[in-house]
Structure 1
Amino acid sequence: MNNLDKKEYRLENLSCANCAMKFEKNIKSLPTVQEATVNFGASKVSIIGDVSVGDIEKAGAFDGIKVVPVKQRKIEKTPFFKRHENVVTMISFVFLIGGIIASFVYEESHPAALSLFVLSILIGGFELFKGGLINLSRFYFDMKTLMTIAIIGAAIIGEWREGAVVVFLFAVSEALEAYSMNKARQSISELMDIAPPTATVRRSNELIELDTEFIQIGDVLVVKPGQKIAMDGIVLKGSSTINQASITGESVPVVKKKGEEVFAGTLNEEGSLEIQVTKRVEDTTIAKIIHLVEEAQAEKAPSQRFVDKFAKYYTPAIIGIAFLVAIIPPLLGEDWQTWIYQGLAVLVVGCPCALVVSTPVAIVTAIGNAAKQGVLIKGGIHLEEIGRIEAIAFDKTGTLTKGYPEVTYVQAASEKDFIRNIMSIEAYSQHPLAQAIVQYGAKEHIHPIEVEEFQSITGKGAEAVINGIKWSVGSVTWIKTISSISEEVLQAVEKLQTEGNTVILATEEGNYRGFIAIADPIRSTSKKVLQSLKNNGIKHTVMLTGDDPKTATAIASRLGMTDVNAGLMPEQKLTAIQSLKEKYGAVAMVGDGVNDSPALAAANVGIAMGGAGTDAALETADIALMADDLEKLPYTIRLSRKALHIIKENIMFALGLKIIALLLIIPGWLTLWIAIFADMGATLLVVLNSLRLLTTFSQDNSPWK
């Protein structure tokens, strides 16, 4: 199969998980189709083969499924009260009310009442019967088939009013389920609307407005204050604050200057910008997010696979029970009409709709909500797994720390003169520690002076002559060999080293003049995040780092981590993850998605930082935190646990209501309208309960632990 032949379409009116399975089966049966996958969560279909839109719509005609091109940004939606099926339902309801009134004025068997009930059934149930009879002829038993049997059976035994009520309630159930599923999918539709469809482009010194699909790599976008950025790119001219919440979930806008990366769908707040396009519209970060979210919603979580397998045996079992209920009591001398009616009610109440939809609607909603918060979860299995984790391993550099060195402390008689001399020497070095000193000096508005005879001494430091005087800058070990250092200074240096600092000493003509402490600073949010994880049931937090054990232990102690594994090469991090899995069971790993790839892959859940900036993070990890920040990790764990909790509730609702209804058979209280209420109630409870995952709950006050 050639992926070039793959076509994708968006679907309208796909509100039923059973319908999605049937639709997929129908498409696969087309002779020109090699493969087809219906994504119920995203309401999309992917097809490999030569097939027309008309053929696809014929395959979904049983449920009125409409097909639109995947690139069509705006899908015209019919208002709820103008939809054909809802209009028909209202007309059916009018006849039903008329029939009920006539049955009170006369009696239920009166021709006027019967005529109104029959009209209500035929008008409201026409599409239902058409689909149900076709299914019955093919021995395909879904909700429409079971409902058709039940309503025809009710008519045969003279229960016309019951039949009309059931048709109406079923139509209401279908309408509400469709509305609720559209609400569940709103996260994806909102993502699709983030990036503008057009942009102002400078070509040949002219400003023209183009659709984004016609914008090429290298084009220059002109973005005014208050406009959204339409494409990923690099700032060529200007500076401004950019609100990136739509991509990273960060609430605080960030300043973007020349040479910095910006993303499609983000909001330019203040200044005017010129941006050079670096990616085509289908390759932008927001496009990748939408694609990965939709793929994630199509992937079945473990609980969903269990439910699907259970439903496969559940439906035939219900049909068997209904048959036995209708047949056995009459054979033992009971009334045939009463027990056939009870059997029909069992058919209705036993429909697996609520059970089948119990998991996917929760997964769809949770993954969509997470994407809006800047967390990309790449499948239901990962959503479920992260909620069960009790141990998390962290890379240190760039994850718990900022990932670059900064000057943390200076000791010298005249700090300004001392920094000027040291930064003047270090300006000739490319070492990260040297650059940290130069940047510190610039930040303090100190300007370097000219030096002579600069010499780098590998593994030790550097020397140079300033105003005819020789200065040496380097490691504690080296400086101790060329100068006498007091015990008091050495103790201060040792204390700073145990706190995770690298200390550089300096001498003037062999006389000690001062030192500078440099460290990769801990992120301001790291300690709070780790405490939040602990509060939410994470029992083990482990640091995996290539750093010196003394430095790593000092940082881990300050952060309150439970364990440290230092001095590791990337391949040794993989071994460490395997060891942690043996010790603690399921383990998550948090890293940058590049040099931590082996460890991320080995963990039960790999979590990458800064997914918005790196394709590697999006591709490697199971979960990507789009902002380069850990603060969304506790939120993700709570969201997962909330989703797991809701899935369990949904399964209980779906089965519990049906079991209660079935128990009503014993005293003979089960009626068709109670059966449809039980089925409709279970389905709506499941969907509405899942929609609770659309709400954004606070990071600190959520009860989901």
Structure 2
Amino acid sequence: MKEHKITGLSCGHCALKLQEQIQQLPGGGEAKVQFNSSKIILDEKMDIDAVRSVLSAENVRFESDGKPKGPNWLMIGLYVSVASFLAALSAEWTLNQPYIPILLYAIATITSGYPTFIKGLRNLTKFKFDINTLMTVALIGAVAIGEWKEAGLVAILFGINELLESYGMEKARRSMETLLEAAPKEALLLKDGQTETVSIEKLKVDDIVLVKTGQKIPSDGMVVYGKSSVNEAAITGESLPIEKENGEPVFGGSINNEGVLHVKVTKMYNQSALSKILALVQEAQESKTPTELFINRFANYYTPIIMIISALVMLVPPLLFNGEWGEWFYQGLAVLIVGCPCALILSSPIAILSGITVNARNGILIKGGAYLEQLGKIDVIAFDKTGTLTLGEPHVVADEAFHPDFYKVAYAIEKSSSHPLAKAVIARCRELGIEDIEPDEIKTVSGQGITAIVDGVTYRLGNEKIIGDAKPDEEVIKVIHQYKEDGNTIVLVASETEVLGVFAIADEIRKESADIIRDLQQNGVKETVMLTGDHPVVAEKVAQRTGVSAFFGGLLPEEKVEKIKNLKTKGKVAMIGDGINDAPALATADLGIAMGKGTDSAIETADIVLMQDHLGKLPDAVHVSRKVNRIIKWNIGLSLGLKVLALLLTIPGWLTLWIAILSDMGATILVTLISLTVLLHNRK
């Protein structure tokens, strides 16, 4: 299958009809017309000319064919139509000759309405009923009963309506395409001291590329030379640049702000984080939400029902209530126009596409419209603790020195260790500017810690078992007890006779966690729950500091799944974890959200991925999703409400053709403009 970009596709219902027609061509059984992204997917063996012929009937063409040659006849036709209509009005007021205004109204109707006539007449021969069929019947009927002015006005308003539909959808598509332009196209390959410009598709793992100031990094890699700040907004949504130097990873698509970087490619571009993000965002455009699927099904029945209602309006009053045939025939034609489903079909896709685009710009990857809609309905959010509400890295939260050599000895023993607890101690000692000295001897004691000789004296570092005969006094015991009661891990340093000091180590809580929990609750999330395998005492301390509604500690993966199932009784549940060890819980929840700064596992496992390494953008994503859901409800209410009001005017016989088209046009304009307001959402 091959993907082709198409232009001129402005009607969702038309896209479905085009897909049905193309699927009937030889080899077209699996063809897909994607309305939101304006693409068509075809078997490579299909006859492109045959497809081109089908597309041209709806004024749609392949983008590769270039712009249409010659003038834009549709736009010129609309201009001529408006001019003819105004001239007809003038002639009607100033001339006594009726044929000149009629001729001018006819020109106005034909020049603006001819594309609709062609499509509508073709549909009538095949007994297919869509918006073009309804408009064609209505215009022919208006002319048949001598309503030339009405026919001309309806044709003009319908033409303007089509342009507005096209504008709204193209605006949303252009916003998405701007996002997709983050993908780099070329790279400067560094080889034997020389640079060569190559396509990013030709880059291989371990290639070295040169990235100059202002250039995009071509693929995921690692800095091997140079130092610079890098803008990763295209991937993570973070607006502030991040300093990069030797040995640090970089994302493809991020921008080098200053200096020159040599980057070793660690992933081919099609396996890079940016490539996967853009592919998933494009797929997300075409995934249908439950609301969209319902609207599409409803539209299939809606048009035939409107035609039946129109026929009843034309026939019942004259046959049963002695109504005027001409008057009620006219009312029936107006009902046909009211029945156009344009606004209803547009009520969802522009808002959904805009919501996915805004979130993607913000570093929030939502894999489909259904997940966007679901996020806006979430009642309960369950958080993993480690790496989600906390940094997932041990951190010295408190320490107490009982001897002047405490920090010096601790640093000497731990500085060569890669153990996570050792890294926390090292970071604390460096923060205090402790002197760097070398130990004479180091020995690991399994399950206890380390013994070492520093400046000729034997010291011990580790848990309470390591201190041996160095019995702690009451003050030391009190400090240890307090630290443990707070849920911390204890690291002691002792000589053979006394305890020199104590470190209290814990997983550091993210600075933003408490604010995020509060913002989520303000955005309508009813309950926030922490699920962790850590000790319940530790879980309680983290819960108190972050403000979650409830917490559960000491949970195995399968127990987390059970908690998620129980939470589902309270409403829609989202689970946030790292995408690997929380996979069962993520899968069980109504919505799985992963975080991890673009890791492959996060991108592949969850429904939504927070590309940053923090939760900062989550409340914003919930806010946007709820806004999209509200807008869709408003749009459906407006599109149906205006039509119902117009139809009610048939009861006293007040409905006219121009009121009918204005009701449909007004609904379309409002639906489009309201949906586009999502794009105005400011990134927080």
- TM-score interval for Structure 1 and Structure 2 normalised by the shorter chain: over 0.9
Is the CA contact 2:381–2:576 (under 8 Å) kept in the aligned structure 1?
A: yes
AA partner of residue 27 (structure 2): T
Three-state SS of the structure 2 residue aligned to 1:520 is strand
AA partner of residue 286 (structure 1): L
Is the CA contact 2:26–2:46 (under 8 Å) kept in the aligned structure 1?
A: no
Q: Deviations over 1:654-694 (max 9, x none)?
A: 10110111111122111111111111111111111111111
AA partner of residue 304 (structure 2): P
Is the CA contact 2:344–2:636 (under 8 Å) kept in the aligned structure 1?
A: yes
Q: Deviations over 1:430-477 (max 9, x none)?
A: 421123223433454445433244221222111112222110111135
Is the CA contact 1:195–1:266 (under 8 Å) kept in the aligned structure 2?
A: no
Matched residue, 1:609: 595
Q: Deviations over 1:12-43 (max 9, x none)?
A: 11111101111111121112123122222122
* Deviation of the 1:312 alpha carbon: 2.0
Is the CA contact 1:188–1:290 (under 8 Å) kept in the aligned structure 2?
A: no
Matches within 5 A, 1:163-182: 163-182=151-170
Alpha carbons of 1:34 and 1:318: their partners in 2 closer, same or farther (altered >3 Å)? closer
Structure 1 residue 653 corresponds to structure 2 residue 638 = yes
Q: Structure 2 regions of 5+ residues with no counterpart? A: none
* Deviation of the 1:609 alpha carbon: 0.6
Three-state SS of the structure 2 residue aligned to 1:568 is coil
| C-alpha separation in 1, matches of 2:543 and 2:26 | 62
How many residues get paired?
683
AA partner of residue 31 (structure 1): P
Q: Deviations over 1:597-638 (max 9, x none)?
A: 11111111111112x431111111111111111011111111
Is the CA contact 1:499–1:555 (under 8 Å) kept in the aligned structure 2?
A: no
Is the CA contact 2:460–2:466 (under 8 Å) kept in the aligned structure 1?
A: no
| C-alpha separation in 2, matches of 1:351 and 1:574 | 48
Matched residue, 2:616: 631
Matched residue, 1:252: 240
* Deviation of the 1:48 alpha carbon: 4.0
Matched residue, 2:85: 96
Deviation larger for 249-258 or 314-323: 249-258
Task: Choose from 20, 42, 46 the match for 2:37.
Answer: 42
Is the CA contact 2:576–2:595 (under 8 Å) kept in the aligned structure 1?
A: yes
Matched residue, 2:673: 688
Deviation larger for 402-411 or 233-242: 402-411
Task: Choose from 64, 78, 85 the match for 2:74.
Answer: 85
> In angstroms, what is the RMSD of aligned CA positions?
2.1
AA partner of residue 45 (structure 1): I
| C-alpha separation in 2, matches of 1:609 and 1:569 | 20
Alpha carbons of 1:224 and 1:414: their partners in 2 closer, same or farther (altered >3 Å)? farther
Alpha carbons of 1:413 and 1:82: their partners in 2 closer, same or farther (altered >3 Å)? farther
* Deviation of the 1:565 alpha carbon: 1.3
Matched residue, 1:335: 324
* Deviation of the 1:403 alpha carbon: 1.2
Matched residue, 2:366: 377
| C-alpha separation in 2, matches of 1:537 and 1:88 | 50
| C-alpha separation in 1, matches of 2:514 and 2:68 | 50
| C-alpha separation in 2, matches of 1:638 and 1:34 | 40
Matched residue, 1:315: 303
Is the CA contact 1:15–1:177 (under 8 Å) kept in the aligned structure 2?
A: yes
Deviation larger for 157-166 or 32-41: 32-41
Deviation larger for 249-258 or 646-655: 249-258
AA partner of residue 613 (structure 2): D
Alpha carbons of 1:193 and 1:615: their partners in 2 closer, same or farther (altered >3 Å)? same
Matched residue, 2:648: 663
Is the CA contact 2:121–2:133 (under 8 Å) kept in the aligned structure 1?
A: yes
Q: Deviations over 1:408-440 (max 9, x none)?
A: 33322456x422322222245442112322343
Matched residue, 1:590: 576
Q: Deviations over 1:186-229 (max 9, x none)?
A: 23211122233233222332222233334333332211222232
| C-alpha separation in 1, matches of 2:617 and 2:439 | 48
Task: Choose from 60, 80, 90 the match for 1:65.
Answer: 60
| C-alpha separation in 2, matches of 1:543 and 1:456 | 36
Matched residue, 2:517: 530
Task: Choose from 340, 360, 364 the match for 1:351.
Answer: 340
Is the CA contact 2:579–2:594 (under 8 Å) kept in the aligned structure 1?
A: yes
Matched residue, 1:511: 498
Structure 1 residue 306 corresponds to structure 2 residue 294 = yes
Matched residue, 2:192: 204
Alpha carbons of 1:201 and 1:429: their partners in 2 closer, same or farther (altered >3 Å)? closer
* Deviation of the 1:372 alpha carbon: 0.9
AA partner of residue 275 (structure 1): V
Matched residue, 2:180: 192
AA partner of residue 388 (structure 2): T
Matched residue, 2:566: 579
Is the CA contact 1:248–1:626 (under 8 Å) kept in the aligned structure 2?
A: yes
Is the CA contact 1:498–1:551 (under 8 Å) kept in the aligned structure 2?
A: no
Deviation larger for 152-161 or 278-287: 278-287
Three-state SS of the structure 2 residue aligned to 1:653 is helix
Is the CA contact 2:469–2:496 (under 8 Å) kept in the aligned structure 1?
A: no
AA partner of residue 516 (structure 2): V
Matches within 5 A, 1:403-422: 403-413=392-402, 417-422=405-410
AA partner of residue 309 (structure 2): I
Is the CA contact 2:412–2:439 (under 8 Å) kept in the aligned structure 1?
A: yes
Deviation larger for 271-280 or 368-377: 271-280
TM-score under structure 2 length normalisation: 0.95
| C-alpha separation in 2, matches of 1:248 and 1:76 | 35
Matches within 5 A, 1:426-437: 426-437=414-425
| C-alpha separation in 2, matches of 1:498 and 1:597 | 32
Q: Structure 1 regions of 5+ residues with no counterpart? A: 1-5, 70-74, 700-705
Is the CA contact 1:100–1:113 (under 8 Å) kept in the aligned structure 2?
A: yes
Structure 1 residue 287 corresponds to structure 2 residue 275 = yes
Matched residue, 2:105: 117
Three-state SS of the structure 2 residue aligned to 1:598 is helix
| C-alpha separation in 2, matches of 1:313 and 1:163 | 27
Alpha carbons of 1:208 and 1:359: their partners in 2 closer, same or farther (altered >3 Å)? same
Deviation larger for 44-53 or 313-322: 44-53
| C-alpha separation in 2, matches of 1:15 and 1:487 | 79
Three-state SS of the structure 2 residue aligned to 1:33 is coil
TM-score under structure 1 length normalisation: 0.93
Structure 1 residue 234 corresponds to structure 2 residue 219 = no
Is the CA contact 2:461–2:494 (under 8 Å) kept in the aligned structure 1?
A: yes
Task: Choose from 381, 384, 390 the match for 1:401.
Answer: 390
* Deviation of the 1:378 alpha carbon: 1.2
Deviation larger for 389-398 or 561-570: 561-570
Is the CA contact 1:232–1:285 (under 8 Å) kept in the aligned structure 2?
A: yes
* Deviation of the 1:92 alpha carbon: 1.7
| C-alpha separation in 1, matches of 2:68 and 2:247 | 45
Alpha carbons of 1:442 and 1:76: their partners in 2 closer, same or farther (altered >3 Å)? farther
Matched residue, 1:644: 629
Alpha carbons of 1:418 and 1:53: their partners in 2 closer, same or farther (altered >3 Å)? farther
Structure 1 residue 550 corresponds to structure 2 residue 537 = yes
| C-alpha separation in 2, matches of 1:695 and 1:76 | 31
Is the CA contact 1:132–1:148 (under 8 Å) kept in the aligned structure 2?
A: yes
Three-state SS of the structure 2 residue aligned to 1:455 is strand
Alpha carbons of 1:668 and 1:255: their partners in 2 closer, same or farther (altered >3 Å)? same
AA partner of residue 326 (structure 1): M
Three-state SS of the structure 2 residue aligned to 1:34 is coil
Matched residue, 1:562: 549
